[in-house]
Amino acid sequence: MNPHPATTFGERFAWRCEESPYPVCVGLDPRLDEIPAVIRGHALGSAGTRADALREAITHFHKLVIEAAADLVPAVKLQLAFYEQYGVPGMLAFCDTIAAARRAGLLVIADGKRNDIASTATAYARAFLGVVDVFGEPTPAFDADALTVNPYLGWDSLVPFAEIAAQHGKGLFLLVHTSNPSSAELQEAVVEGEPVFLRVARLVAKLEGEFFPPRETGSVGAIVGCTFPHAAASIRSTIPHAPIVVVGYGAQAGKLAGCKACFTADDRGAAVNASRSLTYGWTTAPTSDQELVESIRARVTRMGEDLLGALATGASPLPRTRA
């Protein structure tokens, strides 16, 4: 796949979604005990230490997932907590996985839900989206394409992320309405006549307008749970040009109606994330790399076809090439 000469994350997101058969984002959440035994066994037999074996098992597993899905989907979302739980070897595997996804042409979303006071927010933004000065040399640390950000510290904490993302052609996804059942306790609380999640959605639009050049698809997006279809529809109408990563599908039993609500009227602008339902939960564990690739590819295809079917219901079909 030829690279797109886009200058903003929003342009790259829109282009990758157009080029990919399915509007799916593959979530990568390393769980060592659920990685197939054939991969864990090979890593233990070939690595010098348990730390090396841990890194090798996660890295190799995710390389196979990327191989299976790279020509089907626009992006992968790496859940940082699952890498961080394994310490340094886990974070080295995080770097390995980003490199593999980039080689495959996939967008990389670092899901860390980061934020703090402005100075700390700047450090987070530099780590994942920008560069740091290393003895006079500007050096990227993790170099993701986008980062998930917690907006609940307010405007001044979001500005450093927007400034650094805009400077380096990267993107942000603010937590607007999450998929967990109790999220409504705070996110749907009404403040001055509107729910909190819509106030956050307006921050998405404000950041886009103040820090990024005008584009058909913005570079500041939203994390939206398909488990709350009513909220998803309100969010999409409030930020019609923002990219949305839809969460809660698959293992969290989110519904297709909630997914569809996150797309624009012409069925664009969103990618539906699934993690465990695509990469774990084997009835019969794969016994070879090829079997694993084929199994994950089949799961991604099945999910993608379900989404295309839902999007096409009552609307024009997506102008995509089916796998």
What is the set of active-site residues?
A: 113
What whole-number distance in Å separates Cα of residue 32 and Cα of residue 139? 31
- Among positive and negative, which fits the CA dihedral 189, 114, 86, 99? positive
Strand, coil or helix: 209: helix
Residues 192 and 194: their CA atoms lie apart, in Å, by 6
Cβ 126 vs Cβ 168: under 8 Å: no
**222 touches 237 (CB < 8 A):** no
Q: Is-contact 80 122, C-beta < 8 A?
A: no
36 HSE (CA, 13 A, CB side): 23
